Structure 1
């Protein structure tokens, strides 16, 4: 047995390196061809229907404006319906054909069914579902004294993406549409004080990578991994949305400037319209 193990150690590793050396140029060429094709073939979103969750602020709001510039019909979803009114008006000025706003909680399946069904009843279709609802934190796990926030964090960051996708999938199949997921760079690069957030985002990536295999190109999946965004969370705060069932704010000695949310939103929408599977716009600032 020792002889066999030694033989395998001497043979398998060099053989793997040789195979990699021959395969790498071919894979690089294929990836380059795919990148060139996608660069010149961007989906025309004019009059298409886009549902955006978490659209009341941050990257969700900016993604709405990017789709508006492309002439899409928007369905803006968030808990803070009052915030959506102003964003709706801005979207129309940017060029959106039609804008609907809906107050809903994405961790409640019934709410998700309601805003998807209302969209289909009005427009007759769904072309893109953009999941941006997210909730971060900046605390050390061992310092937590109130664990009641744990389920809420995982609900919003995981189930808040899964439920809208589950309900919208039949209609995305009909339109050969696309799901866009706000996964964040923490899904593969864990950072201190963001343990639960990172875990939820990693679970999200694995879920959608598996779903991509199941869907077999009938519905596209774009996973966006962006870096720090200039927002309240990057300035050391933790806060649930206004109107949420619980409010918990925590000031920390963390002051990190974030990248421009407008730039991230533009890159994500551009990648989604080009059919990119993994939209890496990670940039730590």
Structure 2
């Protein structure tokens, strides 16, 4: 299955005005921003601390398509980075790897990131794997932790439906995933949901933390033989998220960059306009920044 492949192999752009967000200007220092890099790779600056989330830094076409998935004949990533990998890494204080599938933690990131950079993993198994790749400051995010004046809270989720997890080989391949909530005084609470479908764990996190910013993986990726049963969220889940936290800014990512995504930015934007929530949901282009 394709997830075995994932596990084994392992400018500042235009600022958007998003809901209560504001565009960066020379007169006002921006201390909270979310930059879409590519795929699920995002860069979050929160006060004086910058986190790089789920770095996939390879050049376009570096890897075969994920076996056993939608459009597996295509090579990944489907598109190049909007800047050099070195520019992506520049200024990063810590890395968060929500899980170690190739499209969230790839060979290029492993080669290019400083081996002593602080790095947060979801569990002991992922931490052990990342240490084996030469990284010396790997921390397991259990519950909550503090880094650089930012509180990090681990949240749960599931990388597919119960139907998929009832297939032992798929359950093993899909594995565990996490989300992360960021909190700091004077900053908008930000929830990076991660590679989860809509689940009780996600609803509980939305209710508990009432985030003002939600970064949502919305590409509706699919495994062959389970069409219509995606392994991450899609457009309807974007609407569910809006209804759960109607005052939040939702930043939709994880589209248009790897073969098994079935939902594009254009399709999501059309849906968002049809539902009348375009003032709350944004699908930034690669390299684009949302500032608060």
**Greater strand share, 1 or 2?**
2
Q: TM-score, normalised by structure 1?
A: 0.39
Larger Rg, first or second structure (1 or 2): 1
Larger relative CO (CA 8 A, sep 6+): 1 or 2? 2
